[in-house]
């Protein structure tokens, strides 16, 4: 028997009352880790509620990392980590390193339907080449899509790219041609941006580690400088720059004539309560070059992205594309256009935001319980979380984790200067919410927290 007091006239959903009471029992230690909870049918009969009510309560607790559902075996209290279920080397790896999506995030049904329609109605156009700047109907649709995020743009200045990497490479070459000599990046940033900049002959220099100091640094720049920023849901830090700081940075770039590259790879995945507008949407965005994509978490293998360019850069960027790669795949472009026009892109993004929110809640809840002394901030969107590991080098932390079956990325891989970093990066794109607390339990064992 498990008695749970229910206030049936309170207006609070019964499943929520059940979940909250179980949460209090778990938190107080009355239900210790490893306890098997009653089955949904049994508990529904005991409480005189529907089985669905109990299933919803259990699903809520599993989302928050308080219990683990194990099929017919039942529901088990996690609370603080228990040894049962912790992975060891040789078993299935829990991947918290990859940025690739789990298949439940990929809108296979929408993609299949769109592909059938395209190949059935427009096969010849889909299989022929595309102009370097991209198909005009898609460029127009993307400008409208960007407008929903407050970004004003002209379709003539939009360049479709075969993924954000190809877009960034094209952009850096165009900047070098136009006279840019130095790319400023944050000390911890997306490492391929540094490699690509150097391959184009650009000098790479570090911005201040404290974002609040960036405007002062920009005040000493010139039109020969460009900044590479990931202002929303940063890779690897998961951080979002506040609005006042964004405007301060942009004001200085306008005054000094420096370019800003806004990498908004995960900007579509905001699930926090506060919306912070893209740099490109702000009045001071005169010197902002925008890199957008929604394929990163939905269908990265299709390689799709786009650039919003100023007139002075459009010609040189188009010339680079004609020489290097030509146009992006017509089939991919028509597929994206069909997803936008049908509304299925919006539906897929909504579903991805919900899943990312649930997963991030599960991860941060488990980390708070097991590593209260390890600093982290809950991201407002995207797929990355940065966890400090004070006293433990990130490379060693990642190695110990892998021995327990969990893959992480050591912080040093994002250090422009290659310095020792006591931190690791988590990605939530590969694992469902039910697996994330299990992974944190494995980390607790790996890092000597048990």
Q: What is the pLDDT of residues 284-309, one digit of tens each?
A: 999 999 999 988 888 888 899 999 99
Q: What local confidence, expressed as pLDDT, does residue 253 receive?
A: 97
Question: Which of 342, 360, 376 is the last residue in one of the domains?
Answer: 342
Q: Does a structural domain hold residue 269? A: yes
Q: Does a structural domain hold residue 88? A: no
Query: Which H or E element spans position 385?
Result: strand 384-388
Q: What local confidence, expressed as pLDDT, does residue 416 receive?
A: 97
What phi-psi label fits residue 233: left (phi over 0), alpha (psi between -120 and 50 degrees) or beta? left
In 3-state terms, what secondary structure has residue 384? strand
* Domain count for the chain: 3
Least confident of 85-89, 231-235, 300-304: 85-89
Percent of the chain with pLDDT over 70: 95
Same domain, 204 and 319: yes
Work out the pLDDT band at 3, boundaries 50, 70, 90: confident
Question: Which of 342, 361, 392 is the last residue in one of the domains?
Answer: 342
Same domain, 124 and 20: no
Least confident of 27-31, 73-77, 281-285: 27-31
Torsion of CA 131, 133, 136, 138, to 10 degrees: 110
Same domain, 288 and 319: yes
DSSP track, 244-311: HHHHHHHHHHHHHT-EEEEEETTTT-B-SSS----GGGSTTGGGEEEEE-S-TTT-GGG--EEEE--H
Residue 440: HSE in the Cβ half-sphere, 13 Å Cα cutoff: 31
Residue 194: HSE in the Cβ half-sphere, 13 Å Cα cutoff: 17
Better pLDDT: 75 or 142: 142
Question: Which of 314, 342, 370 is the last residue in one of the domains?
Answer: 342
In 3-state terms, what secondary structure has residue 206? strand
Same domain, 46 and 158: no
- Asked if residue 313 has pLDDT above 70, the reply is yes
> Parallel, antiparallel, or unpaired: how do β-strands 305-308 and 384-388 relate?
unpaired
Same domain, 336 and 408: no
Same domain, 336 and 352: no
Q: Which residue segment(s) compose the domain that 190 sits in?
A: 108-342
Q: What local confidence, expressed as pLDDT, does residue 323 receive?
A: 87
Q: Does a structural domain hold residue 355? A: yes
Number of other residues whose CB lies within 10 A of the CB of residue 407 = 16
In 3-state terms, what secondary structure has residue 59? helix
Q: What's 268's domain CATH number? A: 3.40.640.10
Q: Does a structural domain hold residue 221? A: yes
What whole-number distance in Å separates Cα of residue 422 and Cα of residue 418? Answer: 12
Using the CB atoms, write b or e for 179-205: b if 16+ within 10 Å.
Answer: ebebbbbbebbbeebbebbeebebebe
Q: Does a structural domain hold residue 51? A: yes
Which residue from 233, 225, 227 is spatially nearest to 380, judged by alpha carbons?
Answer: 233
DSSP track, 116-177: HHHHHH-HHHHHS---TT--HHHHHHHHHHHHTTT----GGGEEEESSHHHHHHHHHHHHHH
Q: What local confidence, expressed as pLDDT, does residue 33 receive?
A: 67
What whole-number distance in Å separates Cα of residue 361 and Cα of residue 26? Answer: 18
Same domain, 337 and 359: no
- Asked if residue 85 has pLDDT above 50, the reply is no
Number of other residues whose CB lies within 10 A of the CB of residue 171 = 27
Q: What is the mean pLDDT of residues 391-413?
A: 96
Same domain, 159 and 301: yes
Q: What's 21's domain CATH number? A: 1.10.10.10
Q: What local confidence, expressed as pLDDT, does residue 25 receive?
A: 84
Same domain, 182 and 263: yes
What whole-number distance in Å separates Cα of residue 428 and Cα of residue 438? Answer: 13
Same domain, 126 and 272: yes
Same domain, 61 and 115: no
- Asked if residue 124 has pLDDT above 90, the reply is no
Average pLDDT, the chain: 90
Q: Does a structural domain hold residue 86? A: no
- Render pLDDT for 351-366 as a digit per residue (tens, 0 to 9): 999 999 888 988 888 8
- Asked if residue 372 has pLDDT above 60, the reply is yes
Which residue from 56, 92, 130 is spatially nearest to 332, judged by alpha carbons?
Answer: 130
What whole-number distance in Å separates Cα of residue 430 and Cα of residue 359? Answer: 10
Same domain, 18 and 127: no
**How is residue 52 written in tokens?**
């669905």
| Start-to-end CA span in the chain (Å) | 31
What whole-number distance in Å separates Cα of residue 413 and Cα of residue 146? Answer: 32
- Asked if residue 88 has pLDDT above 50, the reply is no
Q: Does a structural domain hold residue 271? A: yes
Q: What is the mean pLDDT of residues 212-228?
A: 98
Cα of 408 vs its chain's centroid, Å: 15
Q: Does a structural domain hold residue 89? A: no
Q: What's 373's domain CATH number? A: 3.90.1150.10
């Amino acid at each position: 028997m498990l008695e749970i007091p229910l206030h049936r006239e309170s207006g609070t959903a019964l499943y929520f009352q059940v979940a909250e009471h179980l949460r209090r029992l778990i938190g107080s230690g009355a239900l210790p880790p490893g306890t098997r909870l009653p089955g949904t049918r049994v508990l529904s009969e005991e409480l005189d509620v529907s089985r669905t009510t109990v299933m919803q309560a259990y699903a809520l607790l599993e989302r928050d990392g308080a219990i683990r559902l194990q099929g017919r075996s039942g529901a088990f209290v996690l609370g603080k980590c228990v040894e049962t279920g912790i992975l060891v080397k040789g078993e299935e790896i829990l991947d918290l390193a990859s940025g690739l999506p789990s298949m439940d995030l990929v809108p296979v049904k929408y993609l299949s339907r769109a592909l059938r329609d395209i190949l059935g109605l427009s096969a010849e156009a889909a299989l022929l080449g595309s102009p370097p700047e991209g198909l005009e109907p898609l460029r127009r649709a993307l400008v409208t899509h960007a407008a929903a995020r407050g970004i004003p743009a002209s379709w003539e200045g939009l360049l479709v790219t075969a993924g954000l990497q190809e877009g960034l490479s094209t952009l850096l070459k165009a900047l070098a041609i136009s006279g840019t000599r130095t790319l400023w990046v944050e000390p911890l940033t997306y490492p391929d941006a540094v490699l690509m900049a150097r391959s184009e002959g650009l000098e790479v220099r570090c911005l201040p580690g404290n974002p609040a100091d960036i405007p002062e640094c920009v005040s000493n720049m010139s039109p020969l400088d460009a900044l590479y920023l990931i202002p929303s849901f940063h890779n690897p830090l998961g951080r979002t720059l506040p609005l006042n700081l964004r405007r301060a940075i942009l004001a200085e770039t306008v005054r000094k004539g420096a370019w800003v590259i806004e990498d908004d790879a995960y900007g579509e995945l905001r699930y926090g309560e506060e919306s912070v507008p893209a740099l490109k949407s702000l009045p001071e965005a005169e010197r902002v070059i925008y890199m957008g994509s929604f394929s990163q978490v939905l269908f990265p293998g299709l390689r799709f992205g786009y650039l919003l360019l100023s007139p002075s850069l459009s010609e040189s960027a188009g010339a680079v594309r004609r020489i290097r790669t030509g146009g992006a795949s017509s089939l991919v472009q028509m597929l994206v256009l069909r997803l936008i026009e049908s509304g299925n892109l919006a539906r897929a993004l909504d579903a991805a935001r919900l899943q990312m929110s649930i997963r991030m809640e599960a991860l941060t809840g488990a980390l708070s319980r097991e590593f209260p002394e390890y600093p982290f901030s809950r991201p407002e969107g995207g797929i990355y979380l940065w966890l400090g590991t004070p006293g433990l080098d990130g490379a060693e932390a990642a190695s110990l984790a892998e021995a327990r079956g969990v893959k992480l990325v050591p912080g040093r891989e994002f250090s422009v200067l290659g310095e020792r970093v006591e931190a690791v990066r988590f990605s939530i794109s590969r694992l469902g919410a039910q697996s994330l607390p299990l992974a944190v339990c494995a980390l607790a064992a790996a890092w000597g927290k048990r």
